[in-house]
């Protein structure tokens, strides 16, 4: 006895429906709630960690605000790899500042890596090639593509 073809088709359809419901329940339809980065108002200062890596020794590193009036970081004889907590002004999801570096041997090919990690924003990184000392070199970190 092989059974009724109509009954077999109905059982197959019902079992596929049950499996489909189980798969939908297991997979879940999670709707992620991507929160956009906070849009900051002008003059807002955000706590951030600045990681600094130097390829060779420097005698001085200074980071100031774009207008040059506020010194955010000043290091005499910084180590080759260091981290510094800062209050950085983030305006319209961007930070722009002026970086000055005085190398012990400015004629060498020097590199500098900056990593800025503000609270509630993803970290951003810059790699600068500095064949000579940097004097008020404009740097910018932005979070516009989040």
Task: Name the burial class of residue 90, with classes exposed (0-12), middle (13-18) and buried (19+) by CB atoms within 10 angstroms of its CB.
Answer: buried
Number of domains the chain is built from: 1
Residue 59 structural domain: 45-142
pLDDT band at 40 (very low <50, low <70, confident <90, very high): very low
Q: Which residue has the tokens 């950085």?
A: 88
Domain membership of residue 125 (yes or no) is: yes
Domain membership of residue 109 (yes or no) is: yes
Query: What integer best gives the mean pLDDT of the chain?
Result: 83
- pLDDT digit string (tens) for 16-28? 888 888 888 887 7
Domain membership of residue 17 (yes or no) is: no
Instruction: For residue 145, give the DSSP letter.
Output: T
Domain membership of residue 14 (yes or no) is: no
Domain membership of residue 93 (yes or no) is: yes
Domain membership of residue 78 (yes or no) is: yes
| C-alpha torsion angle, residues 132, 135, 136, 140 (rounded to 10) | 10
pLDDT in the model for residue 107: 77
- pLDDT digit string (tens) for 61-111? 999 888 777 888 898 888 899 999 988 888 778 889 999 999 988 777 899
Q: Quote the pTM value.
A: 0.66
Domain membership of residue 106 (yes or no) is: yes
Domain membership of residue 16 (yes or no) is: no
């Amino acid at each position: 006895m092989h059974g009724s073809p109509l009954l077999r088709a109905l059982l197959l359809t019902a079992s596929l429906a049950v499996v489909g419901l189980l798969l939908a329940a297991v997979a879940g339809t999670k709707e992620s709630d991507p929160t956009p980065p906070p849009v900051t108002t002008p003059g807002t200062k955000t706590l951030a960690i600045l990681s600094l890596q130097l390829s060779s020794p420097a005698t001085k590193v200074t980071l100031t605000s774009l207008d040059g009036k506020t010194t955010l970081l000043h290091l005499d004889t910084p180590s080759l790899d260091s981290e510094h907590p800062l209050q950085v002004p983030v305006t319209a999801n961007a930070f722009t500042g002026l970086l000055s570096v005085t190398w012990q041997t400015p004629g060498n090919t020097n590199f500098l890596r900056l990593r800025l990690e503000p609270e509630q924003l993803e970290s951003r990184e810059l790699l600068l090639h500095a064949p000579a000392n940097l004097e008020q070199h404009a740097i910018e970190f932005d979070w516009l593509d989040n």
